[in-house]
Structure 1
């Protein structure tokens, strides 16, 4: 496992109390705060990425988008089959 990186973050006292109360109610311990923050950051990054992709594709018809996805899936599957048969 890779070494953890230490962050210094600042939150309001209300956020601190709310989060610690929430974690405590979930039976989580002090060390679980880092896990919670990391999970929240990952979810937020995913959410932002999804929003960017949605905005980028808003002018593409659903049919065209579906065809593009189908083409990409066929390419990936063909590549995986080729890799599997080479192994």
Structure 2
């Protein structure tokens, strides 16, 4: 999924997974929804430089579904789509399998 943004350093662009409604189709207002902590990685930077001046490779890649810290990163909007930009260190886990 190309979004037209190139992340720098160890930054990761994530499209959060959000609940659309509650159990049984009950509408939940935005103010009552939990902040998402899982999402799809859509862009990844090249990595951060370590103390030796070389790049540490990124552990996540485009297409990964990840679990991240609840208040991590900054919310941004691009082309009408909401994303979260964060450092790779704010990502807790990569979902395996389906």
TM-score, reference length from structure 2: 0.19
Report the structure number with the largest CA radius of gyration: 1
Structure having the higher strand fraction is: 2
Q: Relative contact order (C-alpha < 8 Å, sep 6+): which is higher?
A: 2
